[in-house]
């Protein structure tokens, strides 16, 4: 009835990477709502933003989240902006949500430059700082556990989360 664990956090916190590692450790399926949105739209997220705008992306994302939260036994990674939606935050209340935290400097290094994350285009560091400041209370609100990822290897973080899941 519900995913084993749901990972939230800003871009570059490692949600997609760590969810894949967790799924393989736990023998579960990895589901990433960004991938679901891309499959549904038939194009990359960057093209959805360019062709139709952020609102269109958010609407596809919301539908992907509603479907994915029904996925029993999956390890689920959301996109960084998923928690902007109040209905999504309410839906997450009953789930095992882990907030992967990261500092601005480490997140900026991890995401680098590129079109894959259209919201960060322009000045990556400024964009990241603004969205991290605005969203931090929302990640904290939905999370049952917060894990600081700075200076820690993905395998090590996955091991800690497995331990937490018992
Ligand atoms: N703990 C970590 N330490 C160093 N690099 C990481 C870590 N977690 C993820 N990365 C790298 O950071 C980049 C962004 O990771 P990703 O999983 O796509 O983050 P998210 O889905 O949260 O945006 C990838 O290149 C990934 O390999
Ligand atoms: O922070 C955001 O609003 C977004 C984060 C991205 O996912 P990641 O957090 O996995 O990079 C992706 O959903 C989209 O580019 C929007
Ligand atoms: Mg991701």
| pLDDT exceeds cutoff 80 at 1 | no
- Do 102 and 45 touch, CB atoms closer than 8 A? no
The pLDDT of residue 116 is: 87
This model of the complex carries an ipTM of 0.99
Q: Residue 98 and residue 77: Cα distance in Å, rounded?
A: 10
pLDDT tens-digit map of 45-89: 999 999 999 999 999 999 999 999 999 999 999 999 999 999 999
Topology at the third CATH level for domain 5-165: Rossmann fold (3.40.50)
Nearest to 142 by CA among 85, 97, 80, 84: 97
pLDDT tens-digit map of 84-135: 999 999 999 999 999 999 999 999 999 988 888 999 998 999 999 999 999 9
Predicted confidence band of residue 4 (pLDDT cuts 50, 70, 90): very high
How much distance in Å is there from the Cα of 36 to the middle of ligand 2? 13
Q: Cα 50 to chain center, whole Å?
A: 21
- DSSP state, 95? S
Q: Given ligand 2 and candidates 9, 10, 34, 57, which is best to mutate, with the most ligand atoms within 8 Å of its CB? A: 34
* Residues contributing to the annotated binding site for substrate: 34, 58, 80, 135
């Amino acid at each position: 009835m519900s995913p084993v664990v749901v990972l939230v956090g800003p871009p570059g916190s490692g949600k997609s990477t760590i969810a894949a590692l967790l799924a393989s450790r736990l023998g579960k399926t990895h589901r990433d709502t960004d991938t679901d949105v891309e499959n549904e739209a038939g194009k990359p997220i960057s093209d959805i933003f360019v062709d139709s705008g952020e609102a269109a992306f958010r609407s596809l994302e919301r539908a992907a989240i509603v479907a994915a939260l029904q996925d029993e036994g999956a390890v689920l990674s959301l996109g960084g902006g998923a928690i902007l939606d109040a209905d999504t935050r309410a839906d997450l209340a009953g789930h095992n949500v882990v907030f992967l935290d990261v500092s601005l400097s480490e997140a900026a290094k991890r995401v680098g430059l590129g079109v894959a994350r259209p919201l960060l285009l322009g000045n990556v560091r400024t964009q990241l700082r603004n969205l991290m400041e605005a969203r931090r209370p929302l990640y904290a609100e939905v999370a049952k556990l917060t894990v600081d990822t700075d200076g820690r290897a993905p395998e090590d973080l996955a091991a800690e989360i497995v331990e937490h899941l018992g």
